[in-house]
Amino acid sequence: MTASSESFPTSPLAGSAAFEHRSPLVQTFQRLRRHRSFQVGMALLLLLVFVAVFANFLAPYDPTLPLDNVRPRDAPCIHLLGCTAKGGDHIFGIDGNNRDEYSRILFGARLSLQIGFITTGFAIIIGSIFGILAGYAGGRIDTVIMRAMDILLAFPSLLLAIAIVAVLGQGLVNALIAIAIVNIPIYARLFRATVLSVKDLEYVTASRAVGASPLRIMWSDIVPNAMTPILVQGTLGIATTILDAAGLSFLGLGAQPPTPEWGVMLSEERNSIFVAPYLVFIPGIAIMLTVLSFNLIGDALRDALDPRLRV
């Protein structure tokens, strides 16, 4: 008797079952790739990174030097679109110091991304050290460290940053130090919470039983478990850092003229909003798009990495 071949219907759960058997990293990537916020945010971020990397080639003029044959606050001019003004093209117009606004916007993207990544990275490193030490050691060390973090968190972040810059002095470097100090408690609390949740679990106890040093336990067993919340908070923190740096520069406490920084550009032209509104709106839009890109990516990472939101 010959067995007849039969076609069995494919289970509707087969696709999801195959998805569940993939590695966590692949699953996370698949979720991110389908997430609309991640797609939009990453597109904006890649555009900003491209502009920042190739600003020297994309900018037609030096962003810090005044130009000849132009007048302060000349309107945007593109000759291919019918502009008859003398001189070259000035896509975003001329600022009050006879500098090309378009070139300053491009170089401002480079500076803003450097501010965001460097400052946030510094805050994460210092915050992680305090958080891991407080959570693992406990006792008086935990009390002292966390009460110091509570004191920092008791002040409004921008007000505290202004106070720190007032002590250190004006300048971009001092502004970045101030912003990093303000953000340290956030990451310290995240790392401490992770340490408290995992330090008594079985695999940490097993590492301790086989004689692993506290430093090895913290680096091999505890730090990897803190990466998910830190990755999400760090992405959102970059957006906040860029916004705070622009705010300090607007107040004259951060980057100083003629540095092509968007906050400085807003500060220099704030009184010309009715005369040349494009000199105010364009840097403001650049800040908004940069902050929006990191916020969208951070929201997508939170949705992709949070197991409670997985279906």
* Amino acid 6: pLDDT: 47
Q: What does pTM read for this prediction?
A: 0.84
* Amino acid 157: pLDDT: 86
Model confidence at 311: pLDDT above 50: no
Question: How confident is residue 203, by pLDDT bands cut at 50, 70 and 90?
Answer: confident
* Amino acid 307: pLDDT: 56
162-191 pLDDT tens trace: 999 999 999 999 999 999 999 999 999 998
Domain-located, residue 99: yes
**Distance from C-alpha of 163 to C-alpha of 235, rounded to nearest angstrom:** 25
Mean pLDDT of 150-170: 90
Domain-located, residue 303: yes
Domain-located, residue 3: no
Task: Give me the CATH number covering residue 114.
Answer: 1.10.3720.10
Number of domains in the chain: 1
Domain-located, residue 20: no
pLDDT over 70 for what percent of the chain? 90
Model confidence at 15: pLDDT above 70: no
Domain-located, residue 216: yes
Question: How confident is residue 34, by pLDDT bands cut at 50, 70 and 90?
Answer: confident
Helix 223-250 and helix 101-137, axial crossing angle in degrees, nearest 10:
140
Range of the domain at 226: 39-309
* DSSP state string for 224-278: HHHHHHHHHHHHHHHHHHHHHHHHHHHTTSSS-TTS--HHHHHHHHGGGTTT-TH
Model confidence at 302: pLDDT above 60: yes
* Amino acid 246: pLDDT: 94
